[in-house]
Amino acid sequence: MTAYCFANVEVTDPVEYDQYRSRTLAIIEAYGGRFLVRGGAVDVKEGGYRPNRVLLLEFSDMTAALTWYNSPEYQAILPVRQRSATTDLLFLQGLWRYIAPAVHRQRPARTIS
């Protein structure tokens, strides 16, 4: 089942954070992940949530996501992010496997009389 890593990042040291950011993509891709959202505009419609830099990563499943996070490569650069930003980080299990059959099921043709 697809899994996601959601982060809300408030960068406090842009120069140091760039050292972290420049190395993340290769590590994420090496563990089968990809960015779905990487910064960009956010429009809050309800609630008091105040996002900063929002990131959303997709992995094939929760095991892959946690393997990436716990990998030696990522753990080596994690302290750089922790020094240069304040981050809320969540891992979320997706539902795609449950809804996919309904989305892809072929519907019978309708006849119009």
Which listed CATH number (3.30.70.590, 3.40.630.10, 3.40.50.620, 3.30.70.100) goes with 3-94? 3.30.70.100
Weakly modelled stretches of the chain, pLDDT under 70: 96-113
pTM of structure = 0.80
State pLDDT tens for residues 10-32: 999 999 999 999 999 999 999 99
pLDDT of residue 26: 97
DSSP per residue, the chain: --EEEEEEEEES-HHHHHHHHHHHHHHHHHTT-EEEEES------SSS---SEEEEEEESSHHHHHHHHHSHHHHHHHHHHHHHEEEEEEEEE--HHHHHHHHHPPPPPPP--
pLDDT of residue 108: 54
Average pLDDT, the chain: 89
